[in-house]
Amino acid sequence: MAFESLLLPKGGPYPDWPESEQKIYRYLEGSMPAGWTAWHSLKVRTRSAEFAEADFVIADPARGVLVLEVKGGLISKDGGVWRQSGQPMKASPLDQAHRFVRLLLAKFKEAGLTSPPIGVATAFPDTDFELQPSQGDLEGIVVGARDLPYLGDALPRVLERALRPITWGKPSPDWTSFLHGLWCECWPAGLDLSQVVKGFEAKRIRLDAEQFTALEGILENDLVLVRGGAGTGKTLLARELAIREAQAGRAFLLLTFTDALGLELARRVGLPGSAVSPIGRLALEKLRRKGFDEPERCEPEFWDRVTRLAAESDEIWDGCGFDTVIVDEGQDFGADEWRIVEPLPPQIGRASCRERVFSSV
C-alpha cells in the first residue's frame, strides 16, 4: 500500500514567502511521489554556531534527501557571472545548498545518527530554458519554468542525478523523523510531565487551605470525588494522599489514564505496599491472569477491547489487597474504565479490598 506524500507547512504557502518559493510550493502540491515529504525553510545550527537554511528539503525514504535551492526572477550567466533579474548574484546558485548540506551532515553526527545520501539541486521557476546549464555542478539538476507542470515526474530524475553514492554505512532508520524534528512542526511551550512532578517534589507538598480541606474530607470518608480545572493541583493532592496512606501503613493503588503519568508517578511514589498503574495496563494484567493471550498492540481498538473485557469480568478485583484506591485523570475515563473502578465501593467487603476510594476529575 502506497503512503501519501506530505508537504509542509500544511495549508498552503504563507503570504510573506518570496513569490518564487510560493510557486514551487503550489506545483509540489498534489505532484510529489507517494511517500515523499517536503519541508519548506528548514534551518540548522550546529554546536559551533554555524547557521544555514534550505528553501526546500525533499525526502524520498527509499533513496535519500534532495536540498532544493530556489532562485526567482530571470536567471542568466554572462561573462562568468551569474545574474538574477540583471543583478550580479553574490554566489553560485548552489553555494547556499552545499553549505546547508555540510551543516545538516554535522547535525546528524551530533545526534549520533547515520545520514542518508543527500544531494542538491536548484529551481529557476521564473526562467524558461530548453537546455540545462553546462556549468559542471549544475548539469542535469536545474528545474526551470517549463518543468514545473511536470514536477512530479521531474523530481525523481533530479534526485537520482543529484545523489552521490553512500559510503558511510546504512542510514539510521528514523532519519525522516529527525528531519521533521529539525523543521519543528509544533512546540507545546510547556514543562514535560517529569519536570512538573519534580516541581511538586521541590515544593515538598505545600497545600493551600482548599487542598487541606479536601484532604481531610478524603481521610474522613469512604468515597470522595474532587473536581477542578487543569493546573489546580488534583495530581498533587492524589500524590499527597498516597504518601499519607503509606505512612499510615495502608496499601494503596493509584490509577491513572495515561501511561506517561502512570510511569512518572510510579517512579516518584515508589513506596512499600503501593501500586501505581494506568488503568488500561492494570486491566490487561488482570486479564492475562485469566488466560487472555492476545498480543499487545498500540492501537486504541486493542485497549478499548481490554477495558471492555475487564469491565465485564466479575472476578477482576478478587483478592486485590488494597486499603485505598486513588483515581487520577478521572476526566479521561470512559464508561468501561469507570465500570472497572465501580466494584470498589464497600459492597465487595472492606477486608478484601479497601477503606476508601478517592477520585480526582
Is there a domain that residue 113 lies in? yes
- Tell whether 100 and 118 lie within a shared domain: yes
User: For the chain, what is the domain count?
Assistant: 2
Same domain for 124 and 13, yes or no, is yes
Which residue, 125, 155, 183, sits at the end of a domain? 183
Same domain, 209 and 159: no
Q: Which three cell numbers stand for residue 243?
A: 504518601
Q: Is residue 283 part of a domain?
A: yes
Distances (CA, A) of 20 to 49, 70, 139, 183, 212: 29, 7, 21, 20, 63
In a domain, 1, yes or no: no
What CATH number should be reported for the domain holding residue 244? 3.40.50.300
Residue 18's pLDDT is 95
**51-60 and 64-70 as β-strands: parallel, antiparallel, unpaired?**
antiparallel
Shared domain for 200 and 345, answered yes or no, is yes
Query: Is 215 found in the same domain as 150?
Result: no
Residues 246 and 352 in one domain: yes
- 257 and 172 part of one domain: no
Are residue 150 and residue 199 in the same domain, yes or no? no
227 and 171, same structural domain? Answer: no
How far is CA 248 from each of CA 31, 167, 270, rounded to the nearest angstrom?
Answer: 67, 64, 15
Q: Which of 142, 165, 183 is the last residue of a domain?
A: 183
pLDDT at residue 39 in the model: 97
pTM over 0.85: no
d(CA 228, CA 230): 7
Q: Tell me the three cell numbers of residue 9.
A: 507547512
Instruction: For residue 109, give its domain range.
Output: 6-183
Domain boundary among 152, 183, 214: 183
pLDDT tens track, the chain, 361 positions: 446 899 999 989 999 999 999 999 999 998 999 999 999 999 999 888 899 999 999 999 999 999 999 999 999 999 999 999 999 999 999 999 999 999 999 999 999 999 999 999 999 999 999 899 999 889 999 999 999 999 999 999 999 999 987 777 899 999 999 999 999 988 876 656 555 555 544 444 455 555 656 655 555 555 666 666 676 677 777 777 777 777 777 778 888 888 877 777 777 666 555 678 888 888 898 888 888 888 888 888 888 999 899 888 877 666 666 777 888 887 888 888 888 877 654 433 333 444 455 556 5
Residues 18 and 143 in one domain: yes
The reported pLDDT for the residue numbered 110 is 94
Inside any domain, residue 16: yes
Answer yes or no: is 188 within a domain: no
In a domain, 222, yes or no: yes
Is there a single domain that holds both residue 94 and residue 226? no
100 plus 202 within the same structural domain: no
